[in-house]
Structure 1
Amino acid sequence: MNDKWLEFAIRIQSIAQAGLQYGKDKYDKERYEELREIAAEMMSEKTDIPVDKIRDLFCNETGYQTPKVDTRAAVFSDGKILLVHENNGTWALPGGWCDVDQSVASNTEKEVREETGFTVHADRLIAVQDWRKHNVQNYAFGVVKVFILCRYESGEFMKNIETTEIGFFDRESIPEVLAVEKTTKDQILMCFDAYEDPDWRTMFD
């Protein structure tokens, strides 16, 4: 979905959402609603997703639009990194959207527990990345990705609704089929670099 057309639609939707929140004139608000509808139709035309679903996913928030936060855990054992096998057959670092009642650290630990059954402790911040610069995009909003180095404490894999299995991989055995909107090979290798470097400096962009 990396496409200028979609970038334009996202920008139009963001402007319309802010206008609906802060605009005072009823006629201006009608125009912002129309802009929002145009943005939804642009997105639908480009993705073949029905416009009603686009409205639900893309045009249902109020207030000033801000990025969502996605936390990803880097858990190592014997120099190998933990990846989860998702229901669609792809592999990724365990993680997900940061819940409103969680901190970055607690959400990272919670996601690992839910997707693997492991109890881990969030130790160190590896990177904060703008998803648009690093990942294949499949959402119509911004995403800030936070990578956390975690220490395994206890537990074993437990069946769950999100993942079918787990695996530990070294640098040379990283799976080819990755959920690249969530985790790219470069991001996994970055986690290896951070794990192996006690003086790692947090990356951000």
Structure 2
Amino acid sequence: MSDQWLHWAQRLQALSQTGLTFAVNDFDRDRYGQIAAIAAEMMAADGMGEVDGLQKLFDQQQGYATPKVDVRGVVIHNNKLLMVREKLDEGRWTLPGGWADVGESPALATVREIEEEAGYTARAVKLLALYDRNKHEHTPYIFHAYKVFFRCELVNEVQHLV
């Protein structure tokens, strides 16, 4: 699927989610449900999952549709960059990070992810970048997401980074 088709499918899903949230009658709910089904079929046609699985994932999303927030921590210690291997992405190397949780600031989410993935205690000291994941070369994702990068410092002295 081209980037444009994915963008359209994401927009259809978001419109259907928001529409279902504010629909006042069964006719509107049915129409917005059909829009969600079209988005699921478009994404499934590109191998992003099975239609039923995508539809279930869409059904779990409630409220006004907004982009998800993906956070990453940039830790440089003794001229070495902290990297981790992604368990869900074929063991590829990446900066530590993941999804921000509801009620959690992006900075705190970054600190949490560094501890969970790398075992280090850190603090976020500076916002480095915020960008639209759809506008860059990434593996396609079914939801719209923003990627946030923070420069972080380790709180405790570390003997070495491997």
TM-score of Structure 1 vs Structure 2, range by shorter chain: 0.7 to 0.9
Cα drift, residue 153 of structure 1: 2.2
Matches within 5 A, 1:2-21: 2-21=2-21
Matches within 5 A, 1:73-112: 73-87=73-87, 88-112=90-114
Give the structure-2-normalised TM-score: 0.87
Question: Which residue of structure 2 aligns with residue 66 of structure 1?
Answer: 66
Report SS of the residue matched to 1:47: coil
4+ residue runs over 6 A deviation: none
Report SS of the residue matched to 2:82: strand
Report SS of the residue matched to 1:128: strand
Matches within 5 A, 1:42-53: 42-47=42-47, 49-53=49-53
Letter matched to residue 3 of structure 1? D
Give the structure-1-normalised TM-score: 0.70
Counterpart CA distance in 2 for 1:21 and 1:50 is 24
Structure 1: gaps of 5 or more residues: 158-165, 168-205
Question: Which residue of structure 1 aligns with residue 149 of structure 2?
Answer: 147
- Say which of 125, 128, 150 aligns to 1:123: 125
Report SS of the residue matched to 2:60: coil
Matched-pair contact (CA < 8 Å) for 2:36–2:58: no
Aligned residues: 159
Moved more, 57-66 or 110-119: 57-66
The percent of aligned pairs where both chains have the same amino acid is 41
Counterpart CA distance in 1 for 2:155 and 2:28 is 56
1:94-147, Cα deviation, whole Å (9 max, x unpaired): 011011132222211111011111111111111111111124143111111111
Counterpart CA distance in 2 for 1:86 and 1:156 is 22
Counterpart CA distance in 2 for 1:51 and 1:33 is 13
Matches within 5 A, 1:111-190: 111-154=113-156, 167=162
Letter matched to residue 98 of structure 2? G
Q: Structure 1 residues 96, 23: CA separation in 2 closer, same or farther (over 3 Å shift)?
A: same
Cα drift, residue 93 of structure 1: 0.4
Counterpart CA distance in 2 for 1:14 and 1:134 is 20
Cα drift, residue 156 of structure 1: 6.3
Structure 2: gaps of 5 or more residues: none
